[in-house]
Structure 1
């Protein structure tokens, strides 16, 4: 699997400056600069779970870009699609923690390498070699990465499973209307959507019970819709075309969270790993996804606590890619 990845993750890579303690910047006791980015987090989480993917992103040559590349080099992720951008700098996210509301983000993206993905970088041969392509709304928020991501989704749609995490970050978009138009326009080329109800509300879907909301998203093209519900766990709906037909809800696991940054990316990685390894029971897929998300919250940094697939066994011991 490490030599021939069957999953491709396309997306952003950046450095998160995460505070040591909750509160405003002056009261945090300092910051740690962990590896980050919705796409890069998902790729690294898959690698930590023992399912290393290809990862298409762009990396600057500044000190923070070197920092990111060193993390990739220390992993089992191939460097085939880690594109070097000599004329860019590394995107930075300043994270602020509120003990009750969770993390918020301020992004510094001007000339960010990960905003400069180019169409055609991923070859047809690469798309023929993988079974799953995962994309993120982060790179859909700005050009030229938006067109590059949409083009990849379109080319991959007839070849493999395409997933999307809309990842609504209001600071990244000109307006909610732009987010709605871009995300809704992409859905006919997408098979699997992982989102929160709030994100889907911004995308123009009517709020309601998880089953009704998921069905309304599936009506636009995706065959599988996964809703992350915070402390209420997660919900999955699959049409007859989905590998996890039907619906299920998993309440999640009790943890004492240290940092929720990247938990959704880890959840997504667990879900993708499950489906690409033959899991057809939506309850089991959600249990594995929630386990990955729960592990990710137990240490600061998006993937720090995911030290390997065995980390999931704290919550779930039936891991199909280890059996």
Structure 2
């Protein structure tokens, strides 16, 4: 079984009691979050606990997050504590369809201060799969630390996956499209949404959720910039996957394109659904499943996550995923 390492931010999400604009929300519930943290916990819930490199403050919120990761079964040897920076926060608003928007409070927060070398060569040598997200590319030194990790993972022959996780308000010092292409050049697998594609300078608007095959051209454009596999999430319509002949799960001489229509669910909160999908996809692909099975499994993990509030707290185990799939 492959050893997995996840790297990136851990934040406190404040989830609203009721849907509505952020300026009208009276009550929030504190939840552990941050896209890479959600992926790490998602993998642990699926029986694949990864190493997780992150950085939080030595404040009470940092204590809360460190405890939440440990309680979820995520190994904590790479969870750094910063005595000079606060833990990042994110306030979430939900519309009536459970779609979310974020207001981040992480200027100079601990996760922006991850430094190169946080994962040493010995730890990386024991790792077969490395996953990172795009938020840490928005600030130094975390930007250099993330790109350095991906480059060293490639040199160590680990599979590298990357989720750009577009959050426009965070990008003030660096160019998001250029940063994505820099990361894509180091990645083997990229997971994106149409919104991510648009923000990264690809034609995400050309993707029609009712026609998964419409993602073929834009996925091929992403693959041309580096990764051999592109996973495109389509919300309630499921997901699409494109793999070049270089992908280990493509046995043919031509690109492989598969899609899955997703699973019926009554969404309560879509926060973290994309991260749940990523956890499911990494768990399946790293275990040697086919691309089609990985897509179906990832969709089921994501769908199950939307049926409860919060991101990390809603992540399912394999029994819950199997029940959703009727297994």
Structure-1-length-normalised TM-score: 0.93
Deviation, 1:315, is 2.3
Match of 2:179 in 1: 182
Equivalent of 1:277, from 287, 293, 310? 287
CA 1:27 to 1:202, structure 2 compared with 1: closer, same or farther past 3 Å? closer
Deviation, 1:317, is 6.0
Match of 2:271 in 1: 261
Match of 2:199 in 1: 202
SS of residue matched to 1:182? helix
Alpha-carbon separation, structure 1, partners of 2:275 and 2:235: 13
Match of 2:225 in 1: 220
CA 1:307 to 1:183, structure 2 compared with 1: closer, same or farther past 3 Å? closer
Alpha-carbon separation, structure 1, partners of 2:228 and 2:267: 32
CA 1:213 to 1:315, structure 2 compared with 1: closer, same or farther past 3 Å? same
Match of 1:41 in 2: 38
Match of 2:299 in 1: 290
SS of residue matched to 1:52? coil
Alpha-carbon separation, structure 2, partners of 1:86 and 1:304: 27
Query: Would you say the 8 A contact 2:113–2:140 is kept in 1?
Result: yes
Query: Would you say the 8 A contact 1:49–1:306 is kept in 2?
Result: no
CA 1:259 to 1:194, structure 2 compared with 1: closer, same or farther past 3 Å? same
CA 1:153 to 1:224, structure 2 compared with 1: closer, same or farther past 3 Å? same
Two-structure CA RMSD over aligned residues (Å)? 1.6
SS of residue matched to 1:139? helix
Alpha-carbon separation, structure 1, partners of 2:203 and 2:274: 22
Deviation, 1:231, is 2.0
SS of residue matched to 2:175? helix
Query: Number of residues paired by the alignment?
Result: 313
Structure 2 unaligned spans of 5+: 207-213, 251-255
Match of 2:86 in 1: 89
Match of 1:173 in 2: 171
Alpha-carbon separation, structure 2, partners of 1:303 and 1:110: 23
Query: Would you say the 8 A contact 1:15–1:64 is kept in 2?
Result: yes
2:209 is the counterpart of 1:211: no
Deviation, 1:27, is 4.7
Equivalent of 2:139, from 142, 156, 175? 142
CA 1:317 to 1:131, structure 2 compared with 1: closer, same or farther past 3 Å? farther
2:315 is the counterpart of 1:306: yes
Alpha-carbon separation, structure 1, partners of 2:274 and 2:241: 14
Query: Would you say the 8 A contact 1:94–1:105 is kept in 2?
Result: yes
SS of residue matched to 2:185? helix
Structure 1 unaligned spans of 5+: 319-323
